[in-house]
Amino acid sequence: MDFRIRGRVSLLATGTAAVLYLLASASAQDWVNQGGNPQRNGLSSMPGPHGSTLLWGGTIPSSYGQPVLICDDKLVTYRDNFTTSIAVCHDLETGDTLWTLDFPGTGGRTMPVGFRDNTVYMVNLQNAAPDTLYAFAADDGALVWRCPYPVSVYLSESATFAENGDLILPLEGMRTACINHLTGDTVWTTERVWPVSGSADATVSDSTWYCFGGALVGGSLRLYAFDVATGFKRDSVFIEDTHPGGTAPYGNIMVGPDRVLYAHRCGDNVTAVEDWGDSLHIRWVYPLEDSTYSPFAQLACGPDSSVYALASGRIIRLDPQTGAPLDSSPYIKDSTAVFAAHLSVGADGTVYATNAGYAGGALFAFTPSLSVIWVESIPNVSTSCPALGSGGELAIAGNGTTLKVFRDPTGVGGPKRTPARNRLVATPNPFRSMTAISLQLTADSPAETRIYNAAGRLVRSFSSLLSPHSFLVWDGTDGARHKLPAGAYFLRSGTTSIVLTLTD
């Protein structure tokens, strides 16, 4: 396979950069695959279920599965029968229907595009008229505000969030806007031409948002970087067309735990891009040889920054440093449907993927190296994505009344929602160069998280963010960035601790 490495070697790989990358996220982290995680990397800070134990199932009928959004103890999706489209909110623990919403007399779709801080953001999606964004209270579906500016959100697209909760999404007229989450007013707007419907999503990382821009004709597709605070364009880089005359870039830009950008020209290639702060640079390009057309598909990252992509009816795992293929799943494509898998990854590295199939639609759980753990039939799963909840739930939707929520059983009383407490998960462990540590923090979490050696001596300490879900990435160095010897180390957050094993 011809994969190409460009630019400089990652500083994380050499251990010469600051290696403590704390990736904080709001409670919207529960739906990680379509904007709840602003980096759009599909990576959750909590593990998902290790088996297909059903917590509950069933909802109002639909012709196909749509995206599922989870925030805290609520689940929102919409059910579409082409002539009717109704948003529905369920209690995540019990499955009880809390409320439904249908924009009256519109002939369009009632489409959720975001869920954060107990507020559901929905678009009145019209076929031949301007689309409107609304905010509703998650508790009872009451209207909070109506955005006065027409938006332009395609069926496969969604909002994403700045750190303060403001929404970033496309407006009519080839513009992108930052929408105040409290009022619905615009904070800023900026002009930006996206190539085709389905490729207008934004991706946010720290103070920058990224997107595709330019037209496909003539191969002028570029990845752009904009400032989150002002909307000003900062830089761009050309994304190669390795199969000239091929398919369109329906996939999202994603940002991995290693802060590298990954651009997916669906059915064409995956391109890794480094943001050096003052400019963007190609790290590598991996052509997707013999790949089938995959509209609306998504990439995902593992806790170790492994890149999961689609190729020839399979999920593949790419080395984030070089783009070299590491593993491949069995063939999972439904022979009657376009292969457009949607991916999420648990904090323990378990990969959850759909195949966008019809009669053969299914949800798969894989090990990090893409061996099958379990499979569940989900007819006409379509654009539905595996949504992971903070209590270990996984939700997926299909046609008919198919809405399934899975969770591992705990104790003799059956599945129970995980009580709020500090939790730590490290992947991989043992590790040689880097491990990703997931923390679920509570209101009384300590101000510092610390690492001790086997003799009990403090070797590293760092501040804990007051966010419900966070990531740490540690490369086995002390506070002075000196490499520590191989052995056992103890990471402690409050009264919770885990053993980290550093190898040669």
Query: Is the per-residue pLDDT at 104 higher than 50?
Result: yes
- List residues bridging with 254 in a β-sheet: 262
pLDDT computed for residue 213 by the predictor: 87
Query: Is the per-residue pLDDT at 414 higher than 90?
Result: no
Other C-beta atoms closer than 10 Å to the C-beta of 205 total 21
pLDDT computed for residue 436 by the predictor: 67
Selected residue with higher pLDDT from 466 and 230: 230
Burial (CB count <10 Å: 0-12, 13-18, 19+), residue 391: buried
Q: Name the pLDDT band for 194 (thresholds 50, 70, 90).
A: confident
Selected residue with higher pLDDT from 83 and 21: 83
Domain ranges within the chain, ordered by starting residue:
30-102+160-406, 423-502
Task: At 237, give phi and psi (nearest 5°).
Answer: -145, 145
| DSSP code of residue 238 | E
Q: Which of the listed ranges 208-222, 278-292, 326-340, 488-502 does the model predict with the highest average pLDDT?
A: 326-340
Tell me if 74 sits within 8 A of 92, measured CB to CB: yes
Tell me if 225 sits within 8 A of 206, measured CB to CB: no
Provide mean pLDDT across the span 56-82: 92
Tell me if 336 sits within 8 A of 360, measured CB to CB: yes
DSSP assignments along 89-121, one per residue: EEETTT--EEEEE--TT-SSEEEEEEEETTEEE
- List residues bridging with 375 in a β-sheet: 364
Query: Is the per-residue pLDDT at 393 higher than 90?
Result: yes
Pick left, alpha or beta for residue 305 (phi over 0 → left; psi -120 to 50 → alpha; otherwise beta).
left
Which CATH number does 30-102+160-406 carry? 2.130.10.10
| DSSP code of residue 194 | -
Q: Which residues 6+ apart lie within 8 Å of 403 measured at CB?
A: 57, 58, 59, 68, 77, 90, 395, 396, 397
The whole-angstrom separation of Cα 121 and Cα 123 is 7
Least confident of 5-14, 114-123, 198-207, 382-391: 5-14
Cβ-count burial 399-436 (b if 16+ within 10 Å, e if not): beebbbbbbbeeeeeebebbeeebbbbbbbbebebbbb
pLDDT computed for residue 463 by the predictor: 66
Selected residue with higher pLDDT from 462 and 247: 462
CA distances (Å), origin 161, targets 4, 29, 74, 113, 417: 33, 11, 19, 11, 27
Tell me if 369 sits within 8 A of 380, measured CB to CB: no
What pLDDT, in 10s, does the model give residues 352-361?
999 999 988 9
Tell me if 461 sits within 8 A of 448, measured CB to CB: yes
Burial (CB count <10 Å: 0-12, 13-18, 19+), residue 218: exposed
The whole-angstrom separation of Cα 362 and Cα 367 is 17
pLDDT computed for residue 29 by the predictor: 57
Tell me if 239 sits within 8 A of 223, measured CB to CB: yes
pLDDT computed for residue 338 by the predictor: 85
Provide the pairing of β-strand 307-311 with 314-318. antiparallel
Q: What is the dihedral of CA 242, 358, 28, 71, to 10 degrees?
A: 180
Q: Which residues 6+ apart lie within 8 Å of 457 measured at CB?
A: none
pLDDT computed for residue 293 by the predictor: 64
What sign for the dihedral angle of Cα 276, 277, 279, 285?
positive
Query: Is the per-residue pLDDT at 193 higher than 80?
Result: yes
Query: Is the per-residue pLDDT at 416 higher than 80?
Result: no
Gyration radius of the chain's alpha carbons = 22
Q: Name the pLDDT band for 471 (thresholds 50, 70, 90).
A: low
pTM here?
0.78
CA distances (Å), origin 128, targets 101, 125, 175, 180, 402: 21, 9, 19, 27, 30
Provide the pairing of β-strand 119-125 with 109-116. antiparallel
pLDDT computed for residue 11 by the predictor: 35
Other C-beta atoms closer than 10 Å to the C-beta of 234 total 18
Helix intervals (H) in 125-175? none
Burial (CB count <10 Å: 0-12, 13-18, 19+), residue 382: buried
Any idea which architecture 423-502 has in CATH? Sandwich (2.60)
SS (HEC) of 277-312: CCCEEEEEEEECCCCCCCCCCCCEECCCCCEEEEEC
Provide mean pLDDT across the span 74-81: 93
What pLDDT, in 10s, does the model give residues 10-43?
333 333 333 333 344 433 457 887 788 999 999 9
- List residues bridging with 477 in a β-sheet: 483
Q: Name the pLDDT band for 155 (thresholds 50, 70, 90).
A: confident
Please report, as a single letter, which amino acid is at residue 218. G
- List residues bridging with 344 in a β-sheet: 352
* Strand ranges (E), 356-413: 362-366, 372-377, 387-388, 394-397, 403-406
Average pLDDT, the chain: 83
pLDDT computed for residue 319 by the predictor: 96
Q: Which residue has the tokens 């403590």?
A: 20
Provide mean pLDDT across the span 206-223: 79
